[in-house]
Structure 1
């Protein structure tokens, strides 16, 4: 068949190109289109045509043929994607810069229903926007000098076409525009584009976004360190190390080395911790003539880019990214405080995030800190318990002191009814007796038995014994040292005594209530009840 003829004539590029064209024409006929092997033969024919064009030095046309082949095969030819990725490496940086510049200009153009917004990208004010020529020059410089950015751009382009999409998405355009503006010296715009790329790029599922206790210590806005920070939440769950590296480089350009170090750690851990899917067998299944291992970067193109949950690069690109991020992390470790260096060396990005989150929480006023339910009540009661139970009584020896009670004992005390606990804490002796009782249960039976232990509460007789020998009543909320003040009704003291103590100078607090019946003054006493009306 014509495909085999093109394979035999591969040494002669012109003849091979003609044979491949005849094969494509034959495969387009209705009688051969429905054959089971037509898809594999079609992929071979497109590959032979593109290979012949590449041998003739027309790499741009070869890329167009590969793109047409991917569209004709419906994305079911991973070998064509691998070969396309290899061909993209032969194109100069100027071609890639021109392509991405055109897509970026189209993406940031006015939207049809809102001229303030772009079609795919957020708009940039005219005074801060780069002209098309300046944008293209910046892209060409960064693609020519940064091998990791060039590989990422080629991977993103191959991934876009292999999935049947005509244009790159918002995440890809934001990444390349941010790299261009960072090269041009506009770190602020690079920050915004890198954040957009991370948010709209590949991210892990809910399991990877679980909040950690260290991160729950803080809560912040966009620029904060807490777990609720939108950019930080997206960065922690991002599976795109290149975008994390771009955001870290933008922060480094603004002088924020600590935040740049955190992103460099996340990028280095992500580049080394996520395995690429795909296999060499898949690369050679549809087109056996293409070598099974056509290149590590091409394998990344077969595996898919950011929208598939991958980082968009192949093995070589991933290793290069890891080395770039590791170099950035080593460089930034020399520019941050010692406590940040110790946290990174101990626990990596998690340790640094915990340190920064705690520092951010400490810097906030108490009214803005996130606290659990009943936090202030528990803290107040803990303070009162420790003050009352510091000398723990005869079981521990008089005068013995403990810096804190065991946690099960403190939890048991805090689970008591608030009124009962407040009554006990009014008397240091009762507090010490209850603490000694709970400590004995903890030592003899264990913490499990302490949880179900029923704490004996104070009886009325115990309260009278603690308060004094003359106590005949107890006012609700009254002090342990002073008698309560009786309420006043109609400006006079009430007759009902709430607490009566006999002792030195302890006169009974009693007064009569005003009479229930009231009668007007007698007539003729000089105090008329009603004024006469004229």
Structure 2
């Protein structure tokens, strides 16, 4: 029992100058260095495991100088080796009495060594909880900052003491800490101090919780002891992630899978290391498996296995969850690990979403619709030319696609620019606007007709009766029909006067644009394409 504490050796005389008597004077131990025959002989006998001889020599030295605390601590160590635990306990209590009398004059290192020896005596006598209490008290009194020498000398004794704790005691301890964390917080009675309160209809009673946590520790005692060692050694409360983890396992065993899943998510969310806690992923994997979410369960078990490779529990659970997946998923998880499988799950989720929920770029559906309409005329176009068409104004592109000659002229123009100037120039290219002469020429050509086409007799239009405006009829309350309606012909609904004027203005500009494109398409079909010099002149 005592041998597990690495600092259980007789102290060297070179540090004894730190001890002081009740009057503040340095004890006789200062003058006792390695040259003192009795002290040197006692230590040599201890190293040769001649403990009885060492004890007699240290006793002789202690009787000569009762205030020498180093000699008396060394004699306590020898008594422990001789398994005379009661005498060792009495010896260390006398040393503690002298330390309390010295008060602030006692060094922290000397006090820590004495407390550790006291805990060692209690451990030797089987009083594990008392030993832990002494060590925790010593940590509070003697340690100023973690990592210093005084702090480190407690850990061998604390490890030895924690290693003696049983599973039932630890289960009760963790269950009590969970119960305390569930108590209403001071700022809100609806929230717990460290854990969210479980609904009363689902809450497990304290005795049952102790039993379930004890069952959780079966096969996980070393891990459970490590949490206690970190908490007590660093003088901190048990982490919220640890309590949530134990409560998740307890509710899993109780069959309350929904609550277990909430606690498992909480354990991983509050875990140290930005979620890189293997046990947190393992408990979440177990909760997800209980809720039949095999994909996420396999993912988290695999993550736990990657964080702690070779851990049998994680490997077996990961294999069990992976067997529930499809062959493709197993292949992705086996070859690519958690990163590849996470990406695969995201892509699969995106594929299975309804179309209106899928993430699409801005104007995605407009571009897809226009691509289909353009493909009816030009199934294959260079990407820069297609992008340039889609970059046109929506109304203008829609109007072009309604007239084959117009879209032909526009595509021909863009292809000429692309072939002569390249894709970069086409991206910034702007179609030349109609000049006044071109507009007049188009108007004249439309009025007179193209060669070979039948001309329209304008005089016939003068004898047609003027159609009736429904807006005026509605305002007058006459309810009359137009000539077209009386004859049963299909009638295009008329807009109000203001909207009709705006529509006519828009259609006029678009019609002029279409006429120009038709004219250019006609010219391009009869003459060879313009040269690069002509394009430069046009620009």
In structure 2, the residue matched to 1:57 is 126
Q: TM-score, normalised to structure 1's length?
A: 0.60
SS at match of 2:200: coil
CA distances 1:228-274 after superposition (whole Å, capped 9, x unpaired): xxxxxxxxxx12211110011111122221121011122223335xx
Match of 1:337 among 326, 335, 349: 326
Aligned counterparts of 2:362 and 2:283: Cα–Cα separation in 1: 40
Count of aligned pairs: 380
The answer to whether the 8 Å contact 2:132/2:161 transfers is yes
Aligned counterparts of 2:418 and 2:245: Cα–Cα separation in 1: 61
Aligned counterparts of 1:66 and 1:97: Cα–Cα separation in 2: 21
Match of 1:153 among 184, 208, 224: 224
Is 1:346 the counterpart of 2:329 in the alignment? no
The answer to whether the 8 Å contact 1:75/1:164 transfers is no
Q: TM-score, normalised to structure 2's length?
A: 0.60
Report how far residue 129 of structure 1 moved.
Answer: 1.9
The answer to whether the 8 Å contact 2:184/2:192 transfers is yes
**What are the equivalent positions in structure 2 for 1:66-465 lying under 5 Å apart?**
66-72=135-141, 73-76=143-146, 77-81=151-155, 83-112=157-186, 114-144=188-218, 146-147=219-220, 150-165=221-236, 167-204=237-274, 238-271=275-308, 320=311, 323-392=312-381, 427-430=406-409, 432-433=411-412, 436=415, 440=419, 450=424, 454-457=428-431, 459-460=433-434
Match of 1:47 among 109, 112, 116: 116
> Which one has the largest radius of gyration?
2
Report the CA distance shift for 1:488/1:180 in structure 2 as closer, same or farther (over 3 A). closer
Higher relative contact order (CA 8 A, sep 6+): 1
Aligned counterparts of 1:44 and 1:116: Cα–Cα separation in 2: 46
Aligned counterparts of 1:435 and 1:7: Cα–Cα separation in 2: 99
In structure 1, the residue matched to 2:519 is none
Gaps of 5+ in 2: 1-15, 17-68, 448-491, 516-539
Report the CA distance shift for 1:181/1:425 in structure 2 as closer, same or farther (over 3 A). same
Report how far residue 70 of structure 1 moved.
Answer: 2.1
The answer to whether the 8 Å contact 2:158/2:233 transfers is no
SS at match of 2:202: coil
Report how far residue 25 of structure 1 moved.
Answer: 4.6
Gaps of 5+ in 1: 205-237, 273-318, 393-404, 473-484, 503-534
Aligned counterparts of 2:499 and 2:258: Cα–Cα separation in 1: 73
The answer to whether the 8 Å contact 1:172/1:197 transfers is yes
CA distances 1:421-470 after superposition (whole Å, capped 9, x unpaired): 667666443464466457658xx97xxx7389533525548x99xx9994
What's the RMSD between the two structures over aligned residues? 3.9
SS at match of 2:217: helix
**What are the equivalent positions in structure 2 for 1:519-530 lying under 5 Å apart?**
none
CA distances 1:138-174 after superposition (whole Å, capped 9, x unpaired): 1112212x32xx3332222222223323x42432221
Report the CA distance shift for 1:390/1:133 in structure 2 as closer, same or farther (over 3 A). same
Aligned counterparts of 2:352 and 2:443: Cα–Cα separation in 1: 49
Report how far residue 377 of structure 1 moved.
Answer: 3.7
